A = this chain, B = another copy of it.
Amino acid sequence: MKIRKATIEDCPGMLELIRELAAYEKAPEEVTVDPRHFEESGFGEKPVWWAFVVEADDASSIPLIAFALYYIRYSTWKGQTMYLEDILVTESMRGKGIGKMLIEKLIEEAKEKGFKRITWQVLDWNEPAINFYKKFGAKFDPQWTNVILDL
C-alpha cells in the first residue's frame, strides 16, 4: 500500500468512497456535492481542503482504497486546528492497519503545520470507530450539539 497527498486526479475515486461512507452512515441521498466544485475546492486558487489517499499495491480494480480529508478550523480559543472531515477505508480493506496509517500521517502533518489539535466527530452509535480513536488517546466531548441552518 502507498500513502500520498491527494492530487486532482484522485477526486473521482474519493467521491466514490464518500458515497460508500454515506451509505454506511444510512444517508446516501445526502451526498449532493458537485464533482467540479469538489475539485475546485481542493485544487483551485483558494483551496479549502487537503487530503491523503491510499492506493493498493496490486493492480486492484478500485483506484483508491482509503483517504482522509481535512480542512483548517479556526478556534477562537486555540487558534488554527486541523478538522478531520472524513477518514474512510473501503469495506473490503478494513482491519489491515490502513486507518492507523492515515491517522499517523495526519498527526505528522498537523505537527508540521503547527496545529495544536485535531478534532473531528463520530456518530454516537459507531462503536468500532469510537474504540479505534481511543487507541490514539482521543478525548470525547458529547456536550455539544450540532446546529444546522439550511439556506
Contacts and interface: CB of A to CB of B under 8 A. Distances in A.
A78 interface: yes
Which residue among A34, A115, A120 has the maximum number of chain B CB atoms within 10 Å of its CB?
A: A120
Nearest to A69: B76
Interface string A120-134: 111111000010010
A97 interface: no
Interface string A59-77: 0000000000101111111
B146 A119 contact: yes
Given A144-B146, A151-B111, A76 B33 contact: yes
A125 B142 CA distance: 12
Interface in A13-36: 14, 18, 22, 27, 30-34
Contacts of A150: 116-117, 139
A14 B74 CA distance: 14
Given A37-B80, A121-B144, A122-B144, 10 more contacts: A33-B78, A48-B72, A69-B76, A111-B151, A117-B148, A118-B149, A119-B146, A122-B147, A123-B144, A141-B145
